[in-house]
Amino acid sequence: MRQRRLAEHEVVTVDGRRLAVEVSGAPDGSAVFLLHGTPGSRSGPKPRSGILYRLGVQLISYDRPGYGGSSRHPDRTVAGAARDVSAIADQLGIGSFSVVGRSGGGPHALACAALLPDRVLSTAVLVGLAPSNAAGLNWFDGMAESNVREYSVADADQISLMERLRLRAEKTSRDPESLLNLNRDQMAESDRRMVESVTFRRLLSKTYAEALREGPYGWIDDVLAFRKDWGFALDKIPGPVLLWHGKEDTFSPIKHTWWLARQIPQAHVRVQTYTAHFGAVEVLPKILAWLTS
């Protein structure tokens, strides 16, 4: 039986930034990049190594700039994720790969699909967001009030946003579960059931603690990047894109996925009833199977 592995790497970009990377699963398996949510880190929830081996998947996750062990990249755009993913793939000796983005990782996965067409084989977006200037979409409709306030402040006053998230990040660093408790009343029932699981709360708490250990900057820069031009065209994505959404999601409303589906030429939509935002964690093994089939 092959030995299971979980390897940590540090990749240095051409402009001298550090990217913290984690690789798990089958060393000779199909490479898939998992792009974490907002806030999040490379240690976010993922299938156990045994499941990845059975799927034949080598899973690569990394901290976006400003999170965890990755250097900050001020004024970054969503498009910048493609350069970072490409740098990591080069360092690991990976030619082609698939990409899956969860929640805030969704736009960054689409950037890879659009800007690395010769390397990205297939793409999946789970409970993703649409661009802030999406024509015909009421961007905030159906969204939890905490997210509405966050993104609205980003539009009006970046200094206020930075102070707001700095205070929240400090509190989350001291007590990672406080972020779950803060959003509990705004969750769909299926999400509340998931966060009542001790195991799942520990996983998310570990993710938040690692994400914010150096401060709030990854979180701040994610929010600002989502609310400005993403830096690529959705209708130029050449390969297949699976858009998965939990119907009851209150953090990334399902209308965002339907809008994205109308813009992406080879979009395939899967909507799951009686589930919401955190359902993206449970469905990931099936998504990985689709990406590598």
Q: Does the residue 91 lie in any domain?
A: yes
Strand ranges (E), 77-157:
97-102, 120-126
**With the CA atoms of 147, 74, 103 and 109 taken in that order, what torsion angle do they form, in degrees rounded to the nearest 10?**
150
Phi, psi for 278 (deg, rounded to 5): -75, -5
- Each residue of 143-169: pLDDT tens digit? 998 889 888 887 778 888 888 888 988
Of 249 and 146, the structure prediction assigns the larger pLDDT to 249
pLDDT for res 184: 86
Beta strands 241-246 and 97-102 are unpaired
Q: Which residue range is the domain that position 22 belongs to?
A: 6-291
Closest residue by Cα to residue 125 from 274, 275, 271, 293: 271
Asked if the structure places residue 182 within a domain, the reply is yes
Q: Tell me how long the chain is.
A: 293
Based on the structure, what is the number of domains in the chain?
A: 1
Separation between Cα atoms, residue 184 and residue 53, nearest integer Å: 34
Q: For residue 8, what is the DSSP state? A: E
Q: Return the closest-CA partner of residue 280 out of 79, 67, 35.
A: 35
CATH of the domain at 214: 3.40.50.1820
Residue 77 has pLDDT above 90, yes or no: yes
Count Cβ atoms below 10 Å from residue 37 Cβ, excluding itself. Answer: 27
Determine, yes or no, domain membership for 278: yes
What are the structure tokens assigned to 103, written together? 């929640």
270 found inside a domain = yes
The C-alpha atoms of residue 264 and residue 239 are separated, in whole angstroms, by 9
Asked whether residue 246 is assigned to any structural domain, the reply reads: yes
- Would 72 be classed as within a structural domain? yes
Is the pTM higher than 0.85? The answer reads yes
Residue 189 resides in a domain: yes
For residue 5, what pLDDT band results from cuts at 50, 70 and 90?
A: low
Lowest-confidence region among 166-175, 220-229, 233-242, 245-254: 166-175
In a domain, 1, yes or no: no
